[in-house]
A = this chain, B = another copy of it.
């Protein structure tokens, strides 16, 4: 069985959202599965000295225009959230709370959170909102709120973000397949080709 693809994303990243809608199908078409890793780019930007795209002059305006264009091109439901760039700590922790014991539920929750933020434009920063969204999948709200403060869950998110830095991840989305890195939604065609050809 071929190795899974590692998919790194920040819940604040619209390009990560667009990638999340496609990566599992893309991987499956090559007999691969995908491990989803929500990470905190804010922590990574401290290493790289960068700022969120949205907060960079010129680039922020380009991004705002570009994501609408991608949504129209791909047919992805999209609403630019007033809360952008959102704080993805609670959302990411909720996903890691489920990742080991229930990986498919973790992925389902990640999709639901991304959808709430970028399709419905909701602010998924508050723990209460994350718990509410998790509840729509049958999770107990109180259990989710407790998990968001669980030191083990907190450590896991930190460790995943540190681990991502250790593998060279500096943006979202970021894919690693068989140690080959691909950065950006706009590199998914190249990733597809890499998987089809075994690399070049």
CB-based nearest B residue for A58? B170
CB distance from A104 to the nearest CB of B (A): 31
Q: Which of A47, A48, A56, A58 has the most CB of B within 10 A?
A: A58
- Identical subunits present: 2
CB distance from A189 to the nearest CB of B (A): 7
Q: A73-B200, A186-B190, A187-B186 are in contact. Are A58 and B62 (CB under 8 A)?
A: no
Q: Which of A44, A69, A72, A187 has the most CB of B within 10 A?
A: A69
Q: Is A135 an interface residue (CB 8 A)?
A: no
Q: Is A138 an interface residue (CB 8 A)?
A: no
Q: Complex: how many Å from CA A170 to CA B57? A: 9
Q: Are A62 and B181 in contact (CB under 8 A)?
A: yes
CB distance from A10 to the nearest CB of B (A): 15
Contact residues, A145-200 vs B (CB, 8 A): 165, 168-171, 181, 183-184, 186-187, 189-190, 193, 200
Q: Which residues of A pack against B, CB within 8 Å?
A: 44, 47-51, 56-59, 61-62, 65-66, 69, 72-73, 165, 168-171, 181, 183-184, 186-187, 189-190, 193, 200
